[in-house]
Amino acid sequence: MTDAIKTEPFVLNIGPQHPSTHGVFRIKVTVDGEKVLDAEMVMGYLHRSMEKLAEERTYTQNIPFTDRTDYLSSMANNLGYCLAVEKLAGIGVPARGDAIRVIMAELQRLASHCMAVGAFTNDTGAWQTPVMWAFREREKILDIFEMTCGARLTCNYMRIGGVAFDLPAAFEPAVRKLLRELVPFIDEMEGLLVGNEIFLARTRGVGVLTPEQATNASLSGPLLRGSGIAWDLRKADPYCGYEQYDFDIPIGYQGDSFDRFIVRIEEMRQSIKIIKQALDGLPGGPHSTQVPLALRPPQGEAYARVEGSRGELGYYLVSDDGPSPYRFHIRAPSFINLSALKEMTVGGTVADAIVVLGSIDVVVGEIDR
Amino acid sequence: MPTREWTGEEVAAAAERLVPGSVARTTAGACYLKAEKLVEAIEALRSSPDTDFVHLTNLCGVDYWDHFEVVYHLQSFVRNQICCLKIEVWDREKAVAPSVVPVFHGAWMQECEAYDLLGIRFEGHPNLHRIFLWEGYPGWPLRKDFLSMPGGLQPGLNEFAGTARRPEPATRLVQ
Amino acid sequence: MALPTLVTEHWYDLRDLSNLSREILEGADKILPHGIVYVLAALIGFVASFLIFVLPSQLIVGVYGERKLIGRMQSRYGPNRVGPFGLLQPIADAIKLMQKEALTPKGADRAVMYLAPIIFVAPAVLLFAVIPFGPKMILADINPALLYFLAVSSLPVLAAFMAGWSANNKYSLFGAMRIVAMSISYEVPLVLALLGVVLFTGTTSLQEMVLWQKHFDIWIVFLQPLALAIYFIAVSAELNRTPTDIAEAESEIVAGYLTEYSGMKWGLFYGMDIGYALAASAFAATVFLGGWSMFGLDKWVPPWMIIIGKTHLFYFVFIWTRGTLPRLRIDQLMAFAWKFMLPVALLNLVLVATERMLWVEQELDDSYLYIFAVVNIWAALGAIWAWSRFLGYRPERNPVRARLVNEAGGYVPVPEAAKGGK
Amino acid sequence: MEGFGVNFAFWTLSAVTLGAAGGVVVSRNLLHAVLFLILAFIGVAGFFVLLSAEFIAMAQVIIYVGAISVLVLFAVLLTPRAGRDNGETAMALPALLLAIAVATVFIFVVNDTNWTTVAKSPELATAELGTALLSTWVLPFELASVLLTAALVGAIMLVRSREEEAEDALA
C-alpha cells in the first residue's frame, strides 16, 4: 500500500538557459517531488581556452584576457595577473601605483558585491527591486571606471609595474561623492532585506557549510568567511600595501546562505573604509614603472594571489625565458567554490538549490574561462 | 604579516619526517614528491599540527614536452603559510597521477579540469570526466603538441580532424 | 434590521449610473418575454463591465499602473515611450502579443493547452457580476453572492493546472503541482476568515453587506482586521502574487505553468492575472471597506467611483508587496497556511461569534460596535504576536551584522550568546 | 419551468452535462476524464441554479469543482505513470449493463412519481438553511463532521511512509 504511493524521481535541468543560473551554466538535479536527491554540474558552455590562448601572447597582451574571465571584477583580475608577472620578473611598483590599484580593486569589489547581493536577492524571489537598486549604485562605480580608463566592464587598467594612466583630476571628488552615497545605500539594502522575515526564512539554514567542509572543499572568499573562518588575503598575505589600511574581516555565524549575504554587505562597508584611507593618503610620484613591452621574465614560476570579489584569485605562471608565458593557469574562485555545490543542495528543495547557487555568486566566464 | 612561503627544503624536511621516503627532489620553491607516496604525504602534511596544510589552494598540471608536472599549492590558515608540492608524470601516452580527492574534496573539480585539458588521468578520482569539453573531443588542448597531435585541431577555420569534413564547394570553371 | 434608503430613486440622477441601467433593464423586462431579459442583462453587463472596468482599469491602470509603480519602486522609469507618458504601452503590448506566434510544444496535449487560457479568462469576467458598484448598479444581486465569488474564484486554479499539465514540460508540471497544492491549503483560512464576516453581518449577499456597513457607519475592516489580513494573504496566495507566487516563480521554475505559453495565449493569462487581482481587490473593498459607501460621501460622489478607488487602493498593496518582498518556499507557505493562518482564523471566528451573540442576545446598542472594533484590533495584534511567538518566532535573536575580526587566522568559534534562534 | 431562457438553459445544460459524463467514460486519457468530470459537476450546479437552489449550486461548485476534483487531479498525478490510462478493462460489459439497469430504474421512478409543481419558487434563504442544520438536524450534522474527521485521520495514517514514522519516533 505505502509503496504504491511513492513518486518517481525525475531529472530536472536547471539551465543552461534559466533565469537564475547567472549565465550558461547547468545543474542536473534529480528531484523527488520538490526534494533534491542529486545534483550534477554541467559546465563548459562558455569555455574559450584562455589558458591556451595566453601561451601564444606576450605578458602584456594577456592583461585583457584576464578582464574576460570574471567580467564582473576585471580590475581584480588585472591586479592578480600583474602581481604574478611582477613576482616572476621581480618588478617593483611605485607607491602611487599601489594606492591606485587598491582604490580600483576595492571599487571593483563594491561593484561586484552590489551585483552579487542584488542577484542573490533576486534568486530568493524579491522581484527585481533589490537588483535594480544595486545596479543603480553599480552604475555609478562603473562611471568612475569609465572616467579613469575609458571602459566600464572590461577595464584593462592595470599594467605590469603599475597602472595604465594616472588618475584624472575629477577622480577624487567623484569617488568621495560616490562613497557618501554608498553608505546610505548599504544601510537601505540592509533595511530592506536583513530584517525581512521572508528573506530570513529563505536563506537561514539553507546551504549550510561547516568550517571543515568549507576548508576541505578549497573554498575561498565570502563562502569561507561565511563559515566562520577569518581568512582574507588582504590581511593574511598583504599585497599592494594593504597592511597600511585599517579594516576588519567580516565573518559569519553558521555558514548558511544568509551569512554569506551579510558577509558581503559588511565587506562593502570595509571596502568603503579602505578607499577612504587610500584616498586620504594618496602619495605623489609616478603611477607606474617603466617595463619593456616585450618582457622576458627569467626562467621560473610564480604563484600570486589576490583577494578577489569571489575569493582567492590566483595566477600560476611558468616562464621559459620567452616573451609569452609557458604556462598560464588561473585559480578561478567561482570554479573552485562550486566544489561544495552538491553538498549544499542535496537534501534541500529546488528553491533552495537556486538560493545556494545565488549565494555562491558564480560568474560563468570565470568558471569556464 | 605576510604569508610565509615554505622553501622546497623545508617542505621536503617535513614530508620526509612525516612519511619517510616520499620526497624525490627539491628545488628552491617546490618539493617534488614521489607519485606513489603523494596521497599519504599530503594527508600527513594536512593532519600534522606543525604543518597544518588544511587548504588545497591550487592544483594544476604543466606540460614540459617530455613530462607533465602536477602542481599542488597547500596553505594553512592558522599558521599562515603556503607550500608548493609537485609530482612528475613521465608517460605521455598514459599519463597517470594519483588523485588527492580522498584527502581534499576541493581537488575534485580541479583534477577534472587537468584531465580535460591536459589528459592526466587521476587514479582514484570518483568521477573523472571532461568537465569543459565534451567526451570524445579530439586531443588535450593544453598539451604543447596539441596542434601536431593526431586528431588534434588544425589551425585555421577547418573542422576537427577525424570528423567528417565539409566537402569542398564545387567550383565551375568559367569559360 | 431597517436598511437605509438608496441614494436617489431618479433615473436621471447622473451621479449614479445604476439608476439608469436598472431603469433600462426593468423597462425591457416589461416589454420583452421573460427569458430574453437575462440574456440582455448579461450582454449589457458584459459590455458595460468591459468598457467601465476592464478597459480603463485593467489595461490602463492595471498594466500601465503596475509597471509604472513597480518601475518607480525599482528606481527606473517604467513605460514612457508609447503615447503620452507611455500610456498606450499596454495596447502596444497587446498588438505585439497578437502578432506573435503562439507556439505549442511537440508532445503537448494540444486541446487542453488551447482550452486553458479560455477557461482562465471566463471566471475573471464572471467575478465582477456580483460586485455592487452602486445602490442598484449590480449585475446579479443574488443572495449567496459571497459563495458565488468563492466558487468562481476556485476555477482559475483548474485552468492553471490544465496549462501546466498539458505543456509537457517539467517546469510547467512543477508549477501545476504547486498551484494545486497551494490553492487547497489557502482556501481553508480564506473561507474561515470570510465566515466571520458573514456571522457578523448575517448575510451572504454582497449588496446587503455594503448596506449593513452603510447603516452602522462602520467598515468591517475595523471590526475584523484579522479577517482582512488573512483574506489578503490567502487571496494573494491563490492569485500567485509575490511573496507567494511559487507557481510561476521565475527564479526557480522559469515561469511555472506559463513556461511554454507564448503570444496571445500567454497574454490572456497575463492580462487576466491582473483581472483576478482587481476582482479580489473589488471583493475586499466591498466586504471590508464598505463597498460603494463612504460615510455619507456617496451622496455627493458617484458610488462607482468610490468602489473603483477602493479597489485600486487594494490593488496598490498587491503591487507594493510584489515590488518589495522575496518569495517563500512551498513548504514554508504550506506551514504558514496550516500552522499560522488556520488557528488564527479559528480564533477570529470564535471571537466574532461571541461578540455577535452578545450583541444580538443582549440587544446591545449600536455604539457597542465601536467597542468591539477597539477590542478586535487589539485582539488581532495580540493573536498574531502571541501565536507567532508560540511557533518560535524570535526576531531579537536574528543576526543583523556579520562578526568582525581584525586578524586573519583559522575558524573563529561562534559565542554561545550570538547563536540565533529558530 | 416557463420562459424561453429557462428552457434554453435547461436543454443546453443537459447536453453539456450528459456529454461531459459520456466523455468521462469514453476518454482514454485519465486527466481528460477528470476534466470532463469537472465539466459535469459544473453542469449539475447549473441545474441547481435553474431550480432556484442557488446555495446548493454554489456549494456544489466550491466542494466538487474546487476541492474534490482538485484532489482527484492530485491523486492522478501522484500515481505512477503506468496506472494513469483510462484503459480497457474486463468490467466494461458488466458496467454497461449495470448502468442501463440503474438508468431504467431512474426513468421508471421519474415517470411514476406524481410531481407537485409549485408556481412560485420557494424563497429558501441561506440563513434558514443554516438555522435548520444547526437546530433540527444538528445530530446528523455533527455526525457527518465526526465521520469526515475520522476519514481525514485514517487517510493520513494510510499514506504515511515508514521513514516518516521513524523520523517522528526520533523527534
**ipTM confidence:** 0.77
Cell numbers at D158, concatenated: 494510510
State the Cα–Cα distance between residues D80 and C382, nearest whole angstrom: 47
- Count of beta carbons in the 10 Å neighbourhood of residue C20: 16
pLDDT of residue C34: 61
Sign of the CA dihedral running C58, C60, C61, C67? positive
pLDDT of residue A207: 84
Range of the domain at A244: 3-368
- Count of beta carbons in the 10 Å neighbourhood of residue A200: 19
- From chain D, the residues in CB contact with C203 under 8 A are 127
> How far is the alpha carbon of D159 from chain A, nearest alpha carbon, in Å?
6
Query: pLDDT tens digit string along A24-59?
Result: 888 888 888 778 888 888 888 888 888 888 888 888
Worst-scoring range by mean pLDDT, A225-239, C15-29, C99-113, C240-254? Answer: C15-29
- Percent helix / strand / coil, chain A, rounded to 5: 50, 15, 35
Query: pLDDT tens digit string along B85-142?
Result: 888 888 878 888 888 888 888 888 888 888 888 888 888 888 888 888 887 777 788 8
Q: Which residue has the higher pLDDT, B164 or D129?
A: D129
Query: In a mutagenesis test of the C interface, which of D41, D44, D70 is the best target, namely the one with the most C β-carbons within 10 Å?
Result: D70
CA distances from C232 to A22, C70, C189, C308, C402 (A): 34, 20, 11, 18, 35
Q: Specify the residue for cell string 549544499.
A: A344
Q: How many CA atoms lie within 13 A of C244 on its CB side?
A: 23
Residue C22 has pLDDT above 90, yes or no: no
Query: In a mutagenesis test of the C interface, which of B3, B4, B80 is the best target, namely the one with the most C β-carbons within 10 Å?
Result: B80
Question: Residue D8: closest CA among chain C residues belongs to which residue?
Answer: C35
pLDDT of residue D143: 93
Worst-scoring range by mean pLDDT, A149-153, B77-81, D157-161? Answer: D157-161
H-helix or E-strand spanning residue C275? helix C263-288
Asked if residue B163 is part of any domain, the answer here is no
> What percent of chain D clears pLDDT 90, i.e. is strictly above it?
12
pLDDT (average), residues A144-165 = 87
State the Cα–Cα distance between residues A268 and A107, nearest whole angstrom: 9
pLDDT of residue A254: 85
Residue-wise burial string across D97-111, b where 16 or more C-beta atoms lie within 10 A, e elsewhere = eeeeeeeeeeeeeee
pLDDT (average), residues A212-218 = 88
Domain CATH number, residue A347: 1.10.645.10
Contact status of D80 with chain A (Cβ, < 8 Å)? yes
Contact status of D156 with chain A (Cβ, < 8 Å)? no
Between chain A and chain D, the number of residue pairs with CB atoms below 8 A apart is 17
Query: pLDDT tens digit string along A336-351?
Result: 888 888 888 888 888 8
Q: pLDDT confidence of A167, banded at 50, 70, 90? A: confident
H-helix or E-strand spanning residue D170? helix D162-170
Worst-scoring range by mean pLDDT, A130-139, A324-333, C413-422? Answer: C413-422
pLDDT (average), residues A155-168 = 86
pLDDT (average), residues A1-19 = 68
Q: pLDDT confidence of C130, banded at 50, 70, 90? A: confident
Q: Identify whether the C-beta of residue C113 lies closer than 8 Å to the C-beta of residue C259.
A: no
Asked if residue B130 is part of any domain, the answer here is yes
Tell me whether residue A90 is exposed, middle or buried, using C-beta atoms within 10 angstroms of its C-beta: 0 to 12, 13 to 18, 19 or more.
exposed
pLDDT of residue D101: 93
Q: pLDDT confidence of B155, banded at 50, 70, 90? A: low
- From chain D, the residues in CB contact with C112 under 8 A are 31-32, 35
Worst-scoring range by mean pLDDT, A334-338, C133-137, C400-404, D7-11? Answer: C133-137
pLDDT (average), residues C115-133 = 83
Strands B68-76 and B81-89: antiparallel
Taking an 8 Å cut-off on Cβ atoms, the answer to whether B78 and C408 are in contact is no
Q: Identify whether the C-beta of residue A182 lies closer than 8 Å to the C-beta of residue A137.
A: yes
Provide the domain count of chain B: 1
pLDDT of residue C25: 67
pLDDT (average), residues B148-174 = 53
Residue C383 has pLDDT above 70, yes or no: yes
Cα torsion D33, D37, D38, D39 to 10°: value is 100
Query: pLDDT tens digit string along A292-334?
Result: 778 888 888 888 889 888 888 889 998 888 888 888 899 888 8
Residue C1 has pLDDT above 50, yes or no: no
Contact status of A208 with chain B (Cβ, < 8 Å)? no
> What percent of chain B clears pLDDT 90, i.e. is strictly above it?
0
Of D78, D79, D158, the CB nearest to A1: D158
Residue D105 has pLDDT above 90, yes or no: yes
Q: List chain C domain ranges.
A: 17-392
Question: Residue B76: closest CA among chain C residues belongs to which residue?
Answer: C410
Asked if residue B162 is part of any domain, the answer here is no
Residue C7 has pLDDT above 60, yes or no: no
Cα torsion C165, C166, C170, C176 to 10°: value is -30
pLDDT (average), residues D82-105 = 76
pLDDT of residue C318: 87
- From chain C, the residues in CB contact with D31 under 8 A are 109, 112, 165
Domain CATH number, residue B107: 3.30.460.80
Q: pLDDT confidence of C6, banded at 50, 70, 90? A: very low
Tell me whether residue D128 is exposed, middle or buried, using C-beta atoms within 10 angstroms of its C-beta: 0 to 12, 13 to 18, 19 or more.
exposed
Average pLDDT, chain D: 79
pLDDT of residue C4: 39
Of C73, C177, C254, the CB nearest to A19: C254
Cβ under 8 Å to C: A residues 114-173:
121-129, 132-133, 136
Average pLDDT, chain A: 86
> What percent of chain C clears pLDDT 90, i.e. is strictly above it?
0
Q: List chain D domain ranges.
A: 1-109, 122-171
Of B3, B82, B108, the CB nearest to A339: B108
Query: pLDDT tens digit string along C41-73?
Result: 667 766 766 666 655 556 667 778 888 888 888
Cell numbers at C417, concatenated: 550568546
**Chains interfacing with C (3 or more CB pairs < 8 Å):** A, B, D
pLDDT of residue A339: 87
Worst-scoring range by mean pLDDT, A318-322, A354-358, C17-21? Answer: C17-21
pLDDT of residue A19: 80
Range of the domain at B61: 4-143
Worst-scoring range by mean pLDDT, A240-254, B47-61, C154-168, C387-401? Answer: C387-401
Architecture of domain D1-109: Up-down Bundle (1.20)
Query: pLDDT tens digit string along C170-213?
Result: 888 888 888 888 888 888 888 888 888 888 888 888 888 888 88
In three-state secondary structure terms, D80 is coil
Query: pLDDT tens digit string along C310-369?
Result: 888 888 888 888 888 888 888 888 888 888 888 888 888 888 888 888 887 777 777 777
> How far is the alpha carbon of C398 from chain D, nearest alpha carbon, in Å?
25
In three-state secondary structure terms, B81 is strand
> How far is the alpha carbon of D95 from chain C, nearest alpha carbon, in Å?
28
- From chain A, the residues in CB contact with C256 under 8 A are none
pLDDT of residue C5: 41
State the Cα–Cα distance between residues B142 and A327, nearest whole angstrom: 9
